[in-house]
Structure 1
Amino acid sequence: MSDREPTAAERTFYEDLLVRLPELHDWYHEDPDGRPWMIVSRDFVVDRWIRATLRVDYDGQDLRGGWSPASLNWDDGVRAADASIDTNPPDGLSRDGVAPRIAAAIAGQWFAEHIARWGRG
């Protein structure tokens, strides 16, 4: 998590997600122009090693999600589009203009489907 405090929309979004999936992590960022946005991520660990990281970006309006190309090593703080993350189905997520609680429901279902498919590890 960065030093930036979450916006009200980000806080609502993340708190609603945690009710569904408490193992998610939050990371807060700003664009160069100061526009806040966040990443919520879930690591898939096998034998104590992170094998893959699923992430979703949310800026209070738009959701973009997919597999992190580097388990958030170089792509933490880089928006999904700039990190060349595939946000197309079946693994990706792309929704515009969604309020925080609706965004949390969409992202929660998306994370849950991936966890069910790939395991809780």
Structure 2
Amino acid sequence: MHAVIQKDYNGIDSIQTVNISTPKSSIIGALVDVKYVPVLPWDIKNEKGLLTQMHTSSLPKILGYGFSGTIHDNNIFGPTRGTRVVGASPNGTYAEIINASIPPYVFCCRIMCL
């Protein structure tokens, strides 16, 4: 699986696409096949190292906060496989499959232009 990884705070040259293992599902999260990710102000500030006091995640890490896509694999509480969703994930979203680990941050979509 491909993901966009930030390895340090030295600008865009510190960002690379790498192969990583597919995340495992958790009891409260849902695996999402990511279709689109926005580039949010949060992402740009995070990449520049301007938010290091707000969070404790260490480098290297997957970039991104927002996403849209479809449920790849669900837990007992979440939407079913194939459901279109949008949301946010503090674990990074610039990857082919993510673990959306905070259920209130995943929203089902009735109409979505994909």
TM-score (norm 1): 0.31
**Bigger CA radius of gyration:** 2
Q: Which has the higher contact order (CA 8 A, sep 6+)?
A: 2
- Bigger fraction of residues in strand: 2
TM-score (norm 2): 0.32
- Bigger fraction of residues in helix: 1
